[in-house]
A and B are shown apart, each in its own frame.
Chain A
C-alpha cells in the first residue's frame, strides 16, 4: 500500500456564522492525482487555503507524511458560534504560516495568477528556490554562497527547459501569454521542491486545446518529479482524464468520493454539479 501524504481530518472552517468547509475528511496517497470538484462557492479554495496555512481551520487537523502539521479547535467567541461537528475532540493548536508549510514540501499555484510582476520569468522561478537556500544574509551578500547560487541557477534553467519556457526566460513574467503564465506558476511551485503539488484551477480561462496540453503536462511532471498532485478544477475533461480519485464538495460538505467512473455515475453529484446533458 502506498504511503499517505496528506490527510485532512474533520476540518471545519467557519467564518462568523458561515460554515465554508464542513467536516472535511480526505486522504491523498503518494503518487496519486486527486481532484477536488464542486459548484462555485462550495468551499474548494477555502479547503486549499486551510491545507496551505493561509486560513487556520476552526476545528480539525491536517496531517502531512504522517505528521500532524495543523490543528485547531473553536476558541474565544467561536466557542458559542461553532456549528460544526467533532466539537471538543481537538485540544491542541498548531498554526504554521504558509512559508513553513511550503518548506515541509507542499507548493501551490493560485486561482488568479499571482506571479511577481516586476520580475523576469527566470527570477520568478529562482526566487522560489530561496526557501531551500542555506546561506544566511551575510554569506549571501558577500557572495560566499557561489556554489549554492550556481546550483540554484542551473536547476532553474533545467526546470524552465522542462516546462518549455527557456526561450522566454529573460522576458517579464507579465508579458507572457496567459497559458504560459500558468505554466510559469507551476514551474515556480516546482522550484520549491515540493512533494505535494496543489493546483488551484490550473486550466481556468484556457481553451480546449490548451486544456489538453495542460492535462498531458500535469501527468508528465507527476512522473518526472515523482509528485503527488491535488487539484481543483472545473474542466471535466481534465479532471476525468487524469485523476486517480475525485472528491466532490457541495455547500462545504463532502458529498461523494471515488474514481472518475464512480463519480460520473453518482446521482448526488449529477444533481448537485455535473447535471444532465440537454439532449439526454
Chain B
C-alpha cells in the first residue's frame, strides 16, 4: 500500500471515530443516532466474521445466529449482578450460578475499571465458547460442501436455539424467560472502538499467509490441496475464528438489546447478516461494514415512517402501516442487487477507492 493510501485510510477512520465521539458527547444515549451506530457496529462485526468464512474461505455456512446466541447467553449469564439474580431467575430459585464476573473484577480493580474488565472478559468467554462449539460442530459438518454445509449449520443453529429454551436448563439459561439487568455500555464509542479493533485483527488475519491460504481454498480447492494446504485444518481454522467473532458479536448484541431471549437469534438473523454481506460485496471487509450501516440506518431510522403513517412529510396512514417498511426495503435491496452485481464494494477495500478515482481522473484527462 502506498503512503498516500495509508494516509487516506487513516484519515477516514479517524474522522469516523471523531464523529462518533462528538455524537456521544452531544446526543443523549437513547437518541436514534446512537442506537443506529451501536446496532450497526455489532452487525458489522458479525457480517465481517461471516464474510471471513463465506467470502474469503468459500464455506457457505448459515450458523451465525447460533454462535451469536451462545455469545449472548454467555455474556448475560456471567455478568448479571448477584443481587439481581433472584429477580431475573424468579422461576428457577435465583439460578445455579452465584457469581458475576464484573463483580469479581471490581473486588480488586475498583468498581468502574473492574466492571469494564469483567464485561470484556465475559464477551471473550462468549467468543471462546462459540469457538469451542464451532470446533465440535466442524468435525462432522466441515466434510460437507456448499449447500449441504449451509443446511447442516442452519440446522445446528436452530437446534441450539431450541436447546437454550429448554426448561431443564432454566437454572442457567432462564428457560424461555428473559435475561436482563446485566451491565452494558450506553455510549456508542466503546462499541465502535471494540468492533474496530476486532475487524482490524480479522483484516490482519486475511492479509497474512493464512488468509491467502483461505482465499486459495475458495478459488480452487484441488489446486490448494495440491500446493500443500491442508484443507481440513484450514477450513476448521476459518470456521472457528469466524465463530469466535460471531460469539463476541452476539455478546455485544445482548449488550445493545438490554435483554436476552433465544427468540431474536432465529435464522432470520443469519439471513439479515448474509444479506448485508452480499450487498456489501462478498470478499470485502469495507463492504460489509458499509452495508451494515446502510442497512441498519434505513431499516431502523430512515424507513421507520413507512410503518407509522408519515414518511418524508407524506401522510398516508392507510398505506404506511406495519410491515410496509419491509416491502420498501426489499425493493431497495432488489435494486441494489440488480445494479451492483458484486455488491457495493465488489472485492475492493477502502484504500482501493483512491485507485478508482485516480483511474477515472486519468481517463478524463485522456478523453480531453
Contacts and interface: CB of A to CB of B under 8 A. Distances in A.
B205 interface: yes
A118 B225 contact: no
Contacts of B315: none
B229 A131 contact: yes
A115 B219 CA distance: 8
Contact of B226 (A108, A132, A140, A152): A108
A130 B220 CA distance: 15
A110 to B, nearest CB: 7
Interface string B266-287: 0000000000000000010000
Contact of A116 (B204, B216, B228): B216
B306 to A, nearest CB: 39
A119 B206 CA distance: 13
B47 interface: no
Most buried by B among A114, A119, A123, A127: A127
B213 interface: yes
B237 A131 contact: no
Nearest to B208: A140
Contacts of A68: none
Interface residues of A, number: 38
A192 interface: yes
Contact of A130 (B204, B209, B231, B283): B209
Nearest to B238: A137
B240 to A, nearest CB: 10
Interface in B177-212: 201, 204-205, 208-210, 212
Given A116-B216, A116-B219, A127-B216, A98 B226 contact: yes
A238 interface: no
Nearest to A131: B228
A142 B204 contact: yes
Interface in A116-174: 116-119, 123, 126-133, 135, 137, 140-143, 145, 149, 152
Contacts of A188: 227
Interface in A82-103: 97-100, 102-103
B215 A128 contact: no
B201 A141 contact: yes
B97 interface: no
Contact of B212 (A97, A126, A142): A126
A47 to B, nearest CB: 15
B223 to A, nearest CB: 4
A215 to B, nearest CB: 24
B53 to A, nearest CB: 15
B222 interface: yes
Given A135-B209, A140-B208, A130 B223 contact: no
Contacts of B231: 97, 99
Nearest to B283: A118
Contact of B228 (A110, A114, A135, A192): A192
A58 interface: no
A243 interface: no
A99 B210 contact: no
B228 A130 contact: yes
B225 A114 contact: no
A141 B228 contact: no
Nearest to B219: A116
Given A116-B216, A116-B223, A118-B347, A103 B228 contact: yes
Interface string A167-209: 0000000000000000000001100100000000000000000
A131 B210 CA distance: 10
Interface in A39-78: 52, 54
A127 B227 contact: yes
A137 B237 contact: yes
A39 B99 CA distance: 75
B231 to A, nearest CB: 7
A127 B213 contact: yes
A119 B210 CA distance: 14
Contacts of B213: 127, 130
A35 interface: no
Contact of A99 (B212, B230, B241): B230
A13 interface: no
A36 interface: no
A118 B216 CA distance: 9
22 contacts: A97-B231, A97-B232, A98-B226, A99-B225, A99-B228, A107-B227, A110-B223, A114-B223, A115-B220, A118-B283, A127-B216, A127-B224, A127-B229, A130-B216, A130-B228, A131-B227, A135-B209, A137-B210, A137-B237, A137-B241, A140-B210, A189-B227
Closest CB pairs A-B (n = 3): A131-B228, A102-B228, A116-B219
Interface of B: 201, 204-205, 208-210, 212-213, 215-216, 218-220, 222-232, 237, 241, 283, 347
Interface of A: 52, 54, 97-100, 102-103, 107-108, 110, 114-119, 123, 126-133, 135, 137, 140-143, 145, 149, 152, 188-189, 192
Given A114-B220, A115-B223, A135-B209, 5 more contacts: A97-B230, A115-B220, A116-B220, A130-B209, A145-B209
